[in-house]
Amino acid sequence: MSNVLEVRNLKKHYNSFALHDISFDVPRGYIMGFIGPNGAGKTTTIKLILSMVTADSGTVKCPNNERIGVVLDAPFYVDEWRVRDVEKALAPFYAQWDTFVYANYLSQFGLDANKKVKELSRGMKIKLQLAVALSHNAELLVLDEPTSGLDPVAREEICDLLRGFVSSEDKSVLFSTHITSDLEKTADFITFILKGNIVFTGQTDALTGKYARISGGLDDLTEAQQGLVIGYRPYCTGFEGMIELAHLTKMPSSVLVEEISLDEIIIYMTKEVGVHE
């Protein structure tokens, strides 16, 4: 399996935040979900990949900028540009720009070529960026929170586009989002970043299949057993948390064990790191 993106040992230090040895791969023909709470380092990592900031150390191996399509939470287009002006401004930077593909996406997305960028809703601005990203034969799409604030229909439309994009098996997506339900439907792989560190990178099923949600009464667990529960949270009538499946045999039969979502994994892992700081 070849990779369209390889990140190795990236480091970046700011006064109040640092990335530590960030390493992961995005395989060709797949969607990689990039998850973590606010401030975990997702956007900083993406900026390093796109050479928008300079790393202190480490390497990024990826296609040249002409072969990367980018969708950010807000476009960098001039507010006074009309939609048709976006093509005029950006097409010269891409040797493989396809005017007909761009026009087709404008039509598919219901984008009026005469509207100004500032007149577009957030959802339409995201779709405009997607139209650009998909019109120059990109090998890699890099998306930073593209579905945040969109309604479910618009989010599903974008997820369908991403699934179609990777169907050729030679193109890939790095998809950063807080809406993990979108990733559960689309992402083949997950990279989980927390406080500037990668805590998991691999197949989505390997992450959700590694843990379970656990709950029970306050007196169900010994202190040693509580120590095995990630993000252990006691409350007035019981407790809840997350546990590695490998430790389930050490739990009493009285506890309730349930499947866990990506959202819950992020919550419990974040709580665990906060508890032990």
| Residues 110 and 188 occupy one common structural domain | yes
Is 157 found in the same domain as 21?
yes
Predicted confidence at residue 113, as pLDDT, reads 94
Which one-letter amino acid corresponds to residue 276?
H
Q: What is the CATH number of the domain that holds 163?
A: 3.40.50.300
pLDDT tens digits along 123-165: 899 999 999 999 999 999 999 988 877 888 888 888 899 999 9
Q: Is the whole-model pTM more than 0.75?
A: yes
Mark the ranges of the chain whose per-residue pLDDT is less than 70: 1, 274-277
41 with 69, same domain: the answer is yes
Distance CA 198, CA 195 (A): 8
- On whether both 39 and 123 belong to a single domain, the answer is yes
How many domains, in total, are found in the chain? 2
C-alpha 155/C-alpha 241 separation (Å) is 30
Q: Are 120 and 241 part of one and the same domain?
A: no
Contact in structure between 230 and 265 (CB atoms under 8 Å): no
**Number of helices followed by number of strands (H, E) in the chain:** 9, 13
Both 115 and 216 in one domain: the answer is no
Structural domain that includes position 54? 3-207
Residues 29 and 148 in one domain: yes
